[in-house]
């Protein structure tokens, strides 16, 4: 009786792990509205400066999902000179084409308000 419970428990845990891996490995779905929003940020030269190890940067990127590929992004661990030149002191930092800067993670709504890009 005891061995049956152990086998069932191990089987359930294994199934849950497999399901978790499957769900986490799925590619992100495209979102046409976010694509257009991110492209608008690019057209307005509204750039995010960040670092791969920064949790706030990861959270900021996650808000865009697959659409982040359209967002102008500078990885400061790879482009240190540019980030020093721009005086980046914290991550993420957003810089507009007129050199106005915004520090910290911003909601999509706030980005829309700042840039006048339509979030739909």
Separation CA 87–CA 75 (nearest Å): 14
Q: Which residue has the higher pLDDT, 18 or 37?
A: 37
pLDDT bin (cut points 50, 70, 90) of residue 120 is confident
58 in a domain, yes or no?
yes
25 in a domain, yes or no?
no
CB burial of residue 17 (10 Å; 0-12, 13-18, 19+): exposed
Report the share of the chain in percent with pLDDT over 70: 89
Q: CATH number, domain at 66? A: 3.40.30.10
Separation CA 75–CA 41 (nearest Å): 17
Chain segment 64-87, per-residue pLDDT in tens: 999 999 999 999 999 999 999 999
Specify whether the backbone of 31 is left (phi greater than 0), alpha (psi in -120 to 50) or beta: beta
Site of tokens 């152990």: 6
54 in a domain, yes or no?
yes
102 in a domain, yes or no?
yes
How many domains are there within the chain?
1
9 in a domain, yes or no?
no
80 in a domain, yes or no?
yes
Query: Beta strand pairing status for 47-50 and 73-75?
Result: parallel
- Domain that includes residue 51, residue range: 32-115
76 in a domain, yes or no?
yes
Say if pTM beats, i.e. exceeds, 0.85.
no
7 in a domain, yes or no?
no
């Amino acid at each position: 009786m005891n061995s049956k419970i152990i086998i069932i428990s191990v089987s359930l845990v294994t199934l849950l792990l497999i399901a978790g891996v499957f769900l986490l490995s799925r590619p992100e779905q495209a979102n046409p509205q976010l694509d257009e929003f991110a492209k608008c940020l690019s057209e307005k030269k509204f750039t995010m400066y960040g670092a791969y190890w920064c949790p706030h940067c990861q959270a900021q990127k996650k808000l865009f999902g697959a659409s982040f590929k359209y967002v102008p992004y500078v990885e400061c661990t790879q482009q240190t000179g540019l980030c020093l030149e721009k005086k980046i002191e914290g991550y993420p930092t957003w810089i507009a084409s007129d050199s106005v800067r915004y520090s910290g993670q911003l909601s999509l709504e706030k980005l829309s308000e700042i840039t006048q890009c339509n979030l739909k």
